[in-house]
Amino acid sequence: MSQRMERVAGEVRAVLGEALARDEIKDPRVRGAGLITVTHVRVSGDLRHARAFFTVHGLDGAQLDRVRVGLDHASGYFRQAIARRLRMKVAPAVTFEVDKVFEQAARIEQILREIEPPSRSSPDSPERSADDGPSDRDDED
């Protein structure tokens, strides 16, 4: 991604975050959802399209989809806000997607917790591994 695309994506994320934090969106699907966090934004190479990923803590899949529909419905408002702030020739059209990275991370953690750690040899066993440190025999030289 070019520096300009990264910069535009960061600015779009900031504009979206400010509009959501100020409760500028009147749609009840969005307003009653709680704290909406825009996690990251991807901008197309021609800067005409932006995909914003968001999450809302504590909502299930159906509720998140309802919020996504409300945000997509308000995309014209977001595009105007972006145009006012960025002063670009063409402001990117924004579409929203639910960010599933936190759900995926929680699932991976759960799977890792379910895996039993490898059994270690008992401390009473006379066999020493190389990882146990130096043995007493090394000191006799």
Q: How far apart are CA 8 and CA 11, in angstroms?
A: 5
Q: CA distances (Å), 77 to each of 47, 54, 73, 87, in order?
A: 18, 17, 9, 15
Where is pLDDT greater, at 57 or 75? 75
Class of domain 3-100: alpha beta
Please state whether beta strands 36-43 and 93-98 pair in parallel, antiparallel, or not at all (unpaired). unpaired
Convert the pLDDT of each residue in 20-52 to its tens digit: 888 888 888 888 888 889 999 999 999 999 999
Residue type, 59: L
Residue 9, pLDDT > 70, answer yes
Q: What local confidence, expressed as pLDDT, does residue 60 receive?
A: 81
pTM of the model: 0.71
